[in-house]
Amino acid sequence: MLGPKLGRMPCALCTTASRARSTSSRANAFLWKSPLHFSSSLRPAIAVGTASLSSSTCQIRSASSSASSSSWGEDNGIQIPTPPAKGNRQNDVVTSFFASPNDASNKDDLLKQEIQSQAQRLSPFLSTTRRKLHQYPELMYQEKETSRLVQDVLNKMDIPHTTGWSVNTNPDKIPGPGGYGVVADIGTGEQPCVLLRADMDALPIDEQTTSVDAFKSQIPGKMHACGHDGHTTMLLGAASILKQMEDSLQGTVRLMFQPAEEGGAGAKRMVEEGVTRQHPAPQWAFGLHVWPTYVSIYLSIYRIILYTMLY
């Protein structure tokens, strides 16, 4: 929820549901058209865009497979799915979809079913990851260990990425250095390009949720009360599915792990630093927010592939 004004305050859902949400939720995916015109071309009318682009002074660091493991523990109990070997990352359903996208057959349904099936197979990974993130919430511009966990997972999925994004330019007002954003590309490295974004930060709230002792917040005064642990997990799940079918994609999907949504305008910083300018520039971008009554990750991936073809 990052319109020109909303980008500087906690999202509205947090203020009404912060003490109630701790169990798993599903995602309501929404999107904006053209990263160059966030506030004027919303589909639907829920703003997830940010202000216009500006020049950047941020030094983005390349991340490598030798990146250090999260201090939450190298053996954190997360069984990370690994993709097939390079050259073997095809998916027959996706390949068939791209081969004749205008075919009035049941290819849309087959694609949706394929992605739903893959998402269901990821259930243990998604559940464990989300609960680990929920146990160790970090506030805006302080998401050091969350960022490291994301990078560890991407490394093991063989997904190149960069970090150093979303540097805090107001440290006198907001504690923390920032620079914990992560960006990764999956696909051909060429257009068409779609950006998929998730936020990572928590809120300064003491968790009082009952019946979740197995994964309750371990940090007094901090809680993933707005569901960003779920958002981060969903994007990592999307990364796994997309990497499995990378050789069948005709275009690029950019993954944007955004810090500082809760009042820090972290997405605005990443736009200023060039996340929508670097090649290939995305034509479409998707945001998401957990909501119990909407379908989850597989629908988001399905829409990414569909919009990549149609637009």
Locate the domains of the chain by residue range. 6-50+89-310
31, 98, 101, 232 from 305: Cα distances, Å: 14, 9, 10, 20
Predicted pLDDT at 37? 31
Q: According to DSSP H, which parts of 57-210 are helical?
A: 92-99, 107-121, 123-135, 144-156
The CATH architecture annotation of domain 6-50+89-310 reads 3-Layer(aba) Sandwich (3.40)
Predicted pLDDT at 55? 27
The string of pLDDT tens digits covering residues 234-287 is 999 999 999 999 999 999 999 999 999 999 999 999 999 999 999 999 999 988
The string of pLDDT tens digits covering residues 74-132 is 556 788 888 888 888 999 998 888 887 666 467 788 888 898 899 999 999 999 999 99
Mean pLDDT of the chain: 76
Predicted pLDDT at 309? 53
Q: Is the pLDDT of residue 215 over 90?
A: yes
Q: Which of 261, 41, 175 is nearest to 270 (CA)?
A: 261
- Show the tokens assigned to 8: 């500087």
Q: How confident is the model at residue 54 (pLDDT cuts 50, 70, 90)?
A: very low
**Higher local confidence (pLDDT), 311 or 259:** 259
Q: How confident is the model at residue 11 (pLDDT cuts 50, 70, 90)?
A: very low
Which of 5-9, 65-69, 132-136, 187-191 has the least mean pLDDT?
Answer: 5-9
Predicted pLDDT at 292? 61
d(CA 298, CA 285): 16
**What average pLDDT does this structure show over 20-27?**
33
**What average pLDDT does this structure show over 42-52?**
20
d(CA 202, CA 133): 10
Predicted pLDDT at 221? 97
Q: Is the pLDDT of residue 46 over 50?
A: no
